[in-house]
Structure 1
């Protein structure tokens, strides 16, 4: 596909999304109907679509409207692309720009357009992040780093980095977590590489890994209460802990046993029906459902679909999860609360509210990991029971 044809494909997908099709489904539908597109073409089209989703407000302003064509026009203007080389109707490229299209579009001036956040969310963002709010908003407009978790149960970061380099995958140590490597070259070669196929590495953000690395002690009994896909459960098991994974949505853990075998670790899986109310653990980790605001680079549609009511519902769920999970903490154990959110109402406020409801608990640590070139934004708080 030519660069112009890739833009045409992105325009088609963006129009599907505007009509209500979820982003991933729109991409899949296009790919199934476009068998001619190679892997590089599909990746380039995906990048176009996600770049627009990250910058939806400013691209709408620059392009003069909300259609797929206008959004891509806005994105390309932001990139200082040669528009006449792309909008030329050659080889399935978009038709040439009209005089009206050339005249349309402005430089984004409103704060919500420059920050690419819903207007209602700006005050919450500023309250949560203070003088770091603008920088975080701009970070969320860029692509996220591609980061690996080294399976330290089987190898070391330096050894696996050397093995990956042989296969054309260059990495560098990640400053957020010792088990993390950031891919700097050859990311599309990863899934067919020997280290990946043999469980030496897994894709996982460095801040997510840091939650597991922050658990102090050796060979602890750990309950990953909201395990989801199991990334943190696998990280904890690789560090030598005895891990039980649990999630209300059991289907999300369906491939965890196979991934554990590939990684050479053992993880017990419990469902809400099988987890005994009397079961206790040294550490209970609650990586609670949240807005995902710290990871909106990876799922940018989330920042446009989040509502005030939905955010209030999430904070209620987070409170309920903490209240439920505390019963599984053994005497002298720890309760760890984590989110991939940068919003104070989902983080510090929830920690404070938990202690206020349960005065026998003490919050011993609260840590924010900022959205950066190295990782997503994360928060975690650790609680211990007062004697």
Structure 2
């Protein structure tokens, strides 16, 4: 595909997304219908689409319209791309710009915050002086981070294997297990280091949270909202113990057995109707469903779909999970509440409410990471019974 054809394809996919199709579904659907597109074409189109979604509001203003073409024009104008070459109309490429589009692109516009209007005041309050830096970071591509599996190797040794795989990395200071991929990110999943369980994909914020908690050999650990199990496997890399995974939707855990086997960890999957039979646990870790606002640069489609009503619903679910999970913790055990959110309503407010309603619990430690810390947004709180 020519560069212009890639742009036209991205425009069509964006229009599909704007009509209501989830981004991943739209991209997958196009890839399945377009066998002629090589891996570099698919990667380039995906990058175009995600860049456009990250900067959707400002790009629509710069491009003169809020459809796929206008947004794509705006993004490329912001990046100072050669618009005449990319909108040449040659072959399957994007049609040449109209006079109105040329004028819109040439105009000086004040770039709006690339976030839903309703959430901006809330984030300004919650983030304070850190809001501008976080808002700007959400417009950028996220770094690719790896977690070294300490059960199998060291960070230095993992780097050497990754180098042989064609993946160049650098240690990250936020966690002793963290590596940032500098070159070859698409080679990670097919490389020896990943295939043999030496490394996993995981943002540094999650790794830092796990590293900050007190782990002891012999503990029975339950990941209450396990999903793919990344947090549980990170915990298992730091200690010897018994590991259990639970999720209200067991289908979310379908990849966990294979991931655990690759990592060299025994994980017992616990069905929702039998979890009380396995209790109590020394540690219950709750990475609860949330807005994902701290990860919106990775899933930019999600921020435009998120609503105030969805936040209210999530708050109710979060409070219920925290209450239920607290009943599974052994006396003297540890309860952990975590989100990948930047919103106080999902973080500190939930923690304060839980302690007020359950005075037998106290907060030992809480921590909020934002994109200004060089990571995704992440919050966690550690509780113990008074």
Shorter-normalised TM range: over 0.9
Q: 1:242 offset after TM fit, Å?
A: 2.1
CA distance in 1, matches of 2:84, 2:327: 64
Q: 1:98 offset after TM fit, Å?
A: 1.2
Q: 2:139 aligns with which of 138, 141, 149?
A: 141
What secondary structure does 2:188 align onto? Answer: helix
What secondary structure does 2:309 align onto? Answer: helix
CA distance in 1, matches of 2:99, 2:351: 56
User: What pairs up with 1:230-269 in 2 under 5 angstroms?
Assistant: 230-240=229-239, 241-269=241-269
Give the corresponding residue for 2:333: 333
Q: Does residue 55 in structure 1 map to residue 58 in structure 2?
A: no
CA distance in 2, matches of 1:245, 1:49: 35
Contact 1:145 1:374 in 2 (8 A): no
Q: 1:107 offset after TM fit, Å?
A: 4.1
User: What pairs up with 1:336-375 in 2 under 5 angstroms?
Assistant: 336-372=336-372, 374-375=374-375
Q: 1:67 offset after TM fit, Å?
A: 1.5
Flag the 1:104–1:345 CA change in 2: closer, same or farther, 3 A. same
CA distance in 1, matches of 2:330, 2:208: 23
Q: 1:188 offset after TM fit, Å?
A: 1.2
User: What pairs up with 1:182-197 in 2 under 5 angstroms?
Assistant: 182-197=180-195
CA distance in 2, matches of 1:251, 1:342: 27
CA distance in 2, matches of 1:37, 1:234: 36
CA distance in 1, matches of 2:28, 2:373: 28
What secondary structure does 1:346 align onto? Answer: coil
Residues 240-274 of structure 1: per-residue CA shift (max 9 Å, x gap): 24211110010011121121111111111102112
CA distance in 1, matches of 2:215, 2:95: 62
Q: Does residue 80 in structure 1 map to residue 80 in structure 2?
A: yes
CA distance in 1, matches of 2:165, 2:282: 41
Contact 2:54 2:300 in 1 (8 A): yes
Contact 1:148 1:180 in 2 (8 A): yes
Residues 300-325 of structure 1: per-residue CA shift (max 9 Å, x gap): 11111111111111111111100000
Q: Does residue 226 in structure 1 map to residue 225 in structure 2?
A: yes
What secondary structure does 2:244 align onto? Answer: strand
Unmatched 5+ residue regions in structure 2? none
CA distance in 2, matches of 1:309, 1:196: 39
CA distance in 2, matches of 1:30, 1:107: 34
| 4+ residue segments displaced more than 6 Å | none
Give the corresponding residue for 2:68: 68
CA distance in 1, matches of 2:374, 2:221: 27
CA distance in 2, matches of 1:202, 1:284: 22
Q: 1:326 offset after TM fit, Å?
A: 0.3
Give the corresponding residue for 1:202: 200
Flag the 1:278–1:27 CA change in 2: closer, same or farther, 3 A. closer
Q: 1:171 aligns with which of 166, 169, 172?
A: 169
Q: 1:374 offset after TM fit, Å?
A: 3.6
Give the root-mean-square deviation of aligned CA atoms: 1.3
Q: 1:373 offset after TM fit, Å?
A: 7.5
What secondary structure does 2:233 align onto? Answer: helix
Greater shift, 289-298 or 307-316, is seen at 307-316
CA distance in 2, matches of 1:74, 1:258: 42
CA distance in 2, matches of 1:362, 1:62: 50
Unmatched 5+ residue regions in structure 1? none
Contact 1:206 1:375 in 2 (8 A): yes
Contact 2:130 2:372 in 1 (8 A): no
